[in-house]
Amino acid sequence: MSFHISVLLFIICDVVDHCFPQDYKCKVEFSPSVFLVDKSMKIVGKKQVPTLRIDSIDRISYHWRGADIVIFDTEHWWTDEKTNAGVNFYQEGDQIHPYLDVYTALRKGMMTWASWVDKHTDPRKTQVFFRTSSPTHFSGGEWKSRRSCIGATEPLLRDSGIANEKDRIAVEVIKQMKTSVTLLNITSMSEYRIDTHPSGILDCSHRCLPGLPDIWNELLYHHLQSSFSKVQVQPPSSKELKNLAIFSERDCWLSFNDSSSPSYSSSPS
């Protein structure tokens, strides 16, 4: 989903990674980290191969510190296709697993992320959200399998009835955290919307804008209104949140600032 966050940032500010909308006292930044943990290279046999360090947070995590609102998501890339089917791909310490299934690896990666959040997030300043996965509509379940969204013009009348194992893992990890994390559960509602994928490129994974992601933003807006009302602070308007509440299948964060809350000024390299 990095495509639509880049497009929205470009529409708002003519940039694709971060901006300061002049009408609002805030900064919006997109910090791409599809796995949330660190990628590396390792010698296996006589070849250098890419690995995923599931015991080490992504090295760009310093960008995530200090935001007033931080929204994480992952899962979209945790597939056999993106992870060499788990063969000589997942690394812990100096050891590479000859094979590790994607669900076990995701759980380990999520635990690494959770530990980082618990250690480096100040709950008095930062609200942490985790967004569940956006369902794809490939008949085979995986990217490049037969597309079932082609020609769809109406929502499905029922969902698949199949529980999302990756979301279940994320929920279990979040329940063990010391930090309060708000779960933005968009999976079930999004599964009905087979009609919201970009038909022009036969893509049954990403979503069109405007469209379903606007509803995800409304969910975020509801949570922000509730939290702001508890501390008697004026919440941002609905129009403002539609501009600023940006989601992706990578992580992104929003930082709301006023004269009493200095801006977080770091930006991605």
For residue range 147-170, what is the model confidence (pLDDT) as tens digits?
578 788 888 888 766 668 999 999
Q: What is the DSSP letter of 200?
A: G
Which of 55-59, 108-112, 124-128, 242-246 is predicted with the least confidence, judged by mean pLDDT? 242-246
CA distances from 164 to 52, 83, 103, 160, 168 (A): 23, 19, 11, 10, 6
CA 144 from chain centre, in angstroms, equals 21
Top mean-pLDDT range of 21-25, 60-64, 206-210, 214-218: 60-64
Q: What is the DSSP letter of 15?
A: -
Q: Residue 152: what are its φ and ψ, rounded to 5°?
A: -70, 130
Structural tokens at position 98 = 């000859």
Q: Which residues contact 45 (CB under 8 A, 6 or more apart)?
A: none
Grade residue 208 by pLDDT with cuts at 50, 70 and 90: confident
Give the pLDDT mean for 206-234.
76
Statement: residue 19 has pLDDT above 70: no
Local structure of residue 138 (DSSP, 8 states): B
CA distance to 53, 58, 60, 92, 156, per residue, from 40 (Å):
7, 10, 13, 11, 41
pTM over 0.85: no
Please report where in the chains the tokens 């590396």 appear, as a residue.
40
What's the CA dihedral at 226, 217, 65, 82 to 10 degrees?
A: 140
pLDDT band at 268 (very low <50, low <70, confident <90, very high): very low
CA gap 245, 166 in Å, rounded: 24
Look at residue 72 and tell me whether its pLDDT is greater than 60. Answer: yes
pLDDT of the residue at 25? 72
Cβ count within 10 A of residue 263: 15
CA 127 – CA 69 distance, rounded (Å): 5
| pLDDT of 200 | 65
For 9, 41, 53, 91, the CA distances from 95, given in Å and listed in that order, are 39, 12, 10, 6
